[in-house]
Amino acid sequence: MDKITFNIKRVLFTLSFPFFAWSACEIICRIVVGASVINNAVDFRNLLRTFVVSFALTLAMACNLPSGRFDMSLGSQQYVIVIVSTSIAFKLGLGPIGLIIWNILFGLALGLLIGGIFSRLRILPMVYGLGMALILECVAFAANANGISFFGKPGVSAINSLPFILGATIIMLLVITYLFNFTKFGYSKRAIEGNQVIARDAGINILTNCIICYSLAGGLVAIAGTFETAYKGSLIPVLNNGTVSVITSGLLTFMLGMFISRWSNSVVGIAISTLTMKILIMGLSKLMLSISIQNLILYIIFVIYLIISTNSYWFEYSKNKKLRIQQAHEMRH
């Protein structure tokens, strides 16, 4: 198979996921409710708005999770960034682009702090994340118990507009693809994901890489938080690890993205998986199903996917075993 054919097959396979998701949802929606998944410009805009939020959040998870660091504090970081940083941005009278850049810088700084503390403590990342989530939720609540409202604020309508969303998505895609695939940081990150000890022995500074990953994740959740709050209109702080659900809801998208990335790269894989999941969710909501039923359906699909992917070696093993037995029989006779 020559290279061009191989690449065409990879592209087709990658794009098949959202295509089949859309086709399945379209058929079911037309049969059940007599409407399409995307009926008008409003549906399309809603799809894109939720896409950019989920894409940024899943990319943030991809900074740490492949290295085995499940950062449960990302949701609480998002809340702190939106509530604290955006308040300052509004007081400074920043426009939409200024607001996003300001929030990103704040997110990078917050991520740097959290990553720095983690690299010093070196406790289990999930446990660290849960503890940090408690602290950051406290900070967000103490900063403003009423949360923040974007209603009537200058520049917010621009953030919600299609060109802005598309522009942000393309910039994120290009910048993160470049960082993950064409920089020394990206190579080091992938080396650490493979084997930390070998990477360290090869001269990679794993602590610096970890801190940069946390910082980058902070910047990405800042983007997610800004767009989500602009879309919903307001953000109210929560306590008792309520922000953990922000991350757990992105786990399916992330794992699907890592699966799809075998035929491209992690950023494209995550973009495609995010689009697939958003189409699925839009389809389920068109069927008038409640959010809890939607979550149930998606997570049952997730559990089935986990069972198949974890035990896929068993199918291969059984097939090879049968082949060996058949070969042994043939040799005997």
Measured from the CB atom, the residue of 171 and 296 that comes closer to another protein is 296
Please state the closest distance from residue 295 (CB atom) to another protein, in A. 4
Q: Counting beta carbons within 10 angstroms of the beta carbon of residue 150, is it exposed (0 to 12), middle (13 to 18) or buried (19 or more)?
A: buried
Q: What are phi and psi of 235, to 5 degrees?
A: -140, 125
Say how far apart CA 5 and CA 299 lie, in whole Å: 35
Measured from the CB atom, the residue of 47 and 126 that comes closer to another protein is 126
Measured from the CB atom, the residue of 104 and 252 that comes closer to another protein is 252
Please state the closest distance from residue 135 (CB atom) to another protein, in A. 4
Q: For tokens 């938080």, name the residue.
A: 225
Measured from the CB atom, the residue of 1 and 123 that comes closer to another protein is 123
Per CB under 8 A, residues contacting another protein are 67-70, 118-119, 121-128, 130-135, 137-139, 141-142, 145, 192, 196-197, 200, 206-207, 210, 239-241, 244-245, 248-249, 251, 290-293, 295-296, 299-300, 302-303, 306-307, 310-311
Please state the closest distance from residue 132 (CB atom) to another protein, in A. 7
CA dihedral 282, 285, 291, 297 (to 10 degrees): -80
Q: Is-contact 49 227, C-beta < 8 A?
A: yes
Please state the closest distance from residue 28 (CB atom) to another protein, in A. 20
Please state the closest distance from residue 24 (CB atom) to another protein, in A. 21
Please state the closest distance from residue 62 (CB atom) to another protein, in A. 14
Measured from the CB atom, the residue of 121 and 328 that comes closer to another protein is 121
Measured from the CB atom, the residue of 88 and 127 that comes closer to another protein is 127
Q: Which of 25, 16, 5, 54 is nearest to 249 (CA)?
A: 54
Q: Is-contact 69 121, C-beta < 8 A?
A: no
Q: Counting beta carbons within 10 angstroms of the beta carbon of residue 310, is it exposed (0 to 12), middle (13 to 18) or buried (19 or more)?
A: exposed
Q: How far is CA 313 from CA 28, 86, 207, 300, 317, in A?
A: 33, 48, 34, 21, 6
First to last CA, the chain: 37
Q: Is-contact 308 259, C-beta < 8 A?
A: no
Please state the closest distance from residue 166 (CB atom) to another protein, in A. 30
Measured from the CB atom, the residue of 157 and 245 that comes closer to another protein is 245
Q: Which of 156, 141, 139, 140 is nearest to 89 (CA)?
A: 156
Measured from the CB atom, the residue of 35 and 303 that comes closer to another protein is 303
Please state the closest distance from residue 45 (CB atom) to another protein, in A. 27
Q: Is-contact 57 225, C-beta < 8 A?
A: no
